Amino acid sequence: MNESILTGTTENAAITGDYTALVLYIIFLYAFTFILSWAVGRFLQQFSELFSKDRVTIKMMIPLIKIVFYCIATWFAFTAILDPSYTETIAFFGLFGAGLGLGLKDLLANIIGGIVIIFEKPFQVGDKVAFSDYYGEVSDIGLRTTRLVTPSDDVVTIPNFQIFTSPVSSGNFGSTAMMVVTDLYIDTNSDYSRAQILVRETIASSPYVIISNDFPYTVLIHSFPFYHRIRAKAYVTDHRYEFEYQSDLYQRAWNAMKNENIHPPPYPGVLMDDLSGKGGLIGNPVHKGIDMS
């Protein structure tokens, strides 16, 4: 590497115009930073999977480490180019900031949004979040965008500025355990008290659920004109089991309720009288799998 350039004697460089070493140095610097942050991120991703309880906490560190790495690399690049004095540094950042602020307003807004997300932590990597029409697990919080993996394995990339300025709900907020709300609907002629007990027992029988004083469960009944709603709220051991748990709950609960003559309501729009005595043929009118309320 051309030492004269790095030591700040820019006169020679200006005269000779030989910036090859400097450019190579900066390219190498950012390539190295990219590889290092990727490797550390990858390592922490794999490492976090070894832990059930602390997985999300470990993943939280990934974006923070990436930002630190890139800040250090930028500082090295900056000093290699200019080797500025204190006054020059202040002046540079002032002008740089103003220039970027005008020219790259949206990009900066996204970057600032990313930094705010990292420090304010409205959600973290590994959380299940609902934003606008999207719901999924946060796989990455980058400087410009945040990525979600939806239940159908689609990757959704959302600019940080949008997340920063809109409401986001986090289902587990840094914990692997997450409350899952599942609704079942039964007709008005069915014994809803017995149905409530059976749903409770189904929750207790699920392999995916934690029941303890710290993670209580509840089963609530709400009566509507043509049906009763049974709302089951319970914590799954890992938010990744959300849909397995719901599927297990539906299957076991309906099997148990079928044996006790508890039936789903008829479809909306069909008169109850027409179907009296013909229960057991109709499925749930509404499957509300995800309810963040």
Contact characters 46-75, other proteins, x per CB under 8 A: ------xx----------------------
Q: DSSP state, 73?
A: H
Asked if 231 is part of the footprint of other proteins (rule: CB under 8 A), the reply reads no
Asked if 246 is part of the footprint of other proteins (rule: CB under 8 A), the reply reads no
DSSP secondary structure string for all residues of 102-164: HHTHHHHHHHHHHHHHHHH-SS-TT-EEEETTEEEEEEEE-SSEEEEE-TTS-EEEEEHHHHH
Asked if 177 is part of the footprint of other proteins (rule: CB under 8 A), the reply reads yes
Q: Name the segment binding other proteins (CB under 8 A); options: 33-41, 146-154, 211-219, 273-281.
A: 211-219
Pairing mode, if any, of strands 178-187 and 168-170? Answer: unpaired
Asked if 184 is part of the footprint of other proteins (rule: CB under 8 A), the reply reads no
Asked if 205 is part of the footprint of other proteins (rule: CB under 8 A), the reply reads yes
Asked if 193 is part of the footprint of other proteins (rule: CB under 8 A), the reply reads no
Asked if 198 is part of the footprint of other proteins (rule: CB under 8 A), the reply reads yes
Pairing mode, if any, of strands 145-149 and 134-141? Answer: antiparallel
Of 135 and 217, nearer to other proteins (C-beta) is 217
Residue 201 C-beta: closest distance to other proteins, Å: 5
Residue 171 C-beta: closest distance to other proteins, Å: 17
Asked if 216 is part of the footprint of other proteins (rule: CB under 8 A), the reply reads yes
Alpha helices, H only, 206-289: 242-258, 272-275
Asked if 244 is part of the footprint of other proteins (rule: CB under 8 A), the reply reads yes
Alpha helices, H only, 166-267: 192-205, 242-258
CB 20 within 8 A of CB 28: no
Measure the CA–CA gap between 215 and 220, rounded to whole angstroms: 16
Q: Name the segment binding other proteins (CB under 8 A); options: 17-25, 37-45, 144-152, 195-203.
A: 195-203
CB 261 within 8 A of CB 150: no
Asked if 237 is part of the footprint of other proteins (rule: CB under 8 A), the reply reads yes
- C-alpha R_g of the chain: 28
Q: Which of 87, 152, 193, 213 binds other proteins (CB under 8 A)?
A: 213
- 156 is written with which tokens? 């959704």
Dmax (CA) for the chain in angstroms is: 97
Residue 261 C-beta: closest distance to other proteins, Å: 14
CB 131 within 8 A of CB 163: yes
Residue 77 C-beta: closest distance to other proteins, Å: 40
Q: Name the segment binding other proteins (CB under 8 A); options: 63-71, 149-157, 215-223, 268-276.
A: 215-223
Residues binding other proteins (CB under 8 A): 52-53, 177, 198, 200-202, 204-205, 207-208, 210-213, 215-217, 237-238, 241, 244, 252-253, 255-256, 259
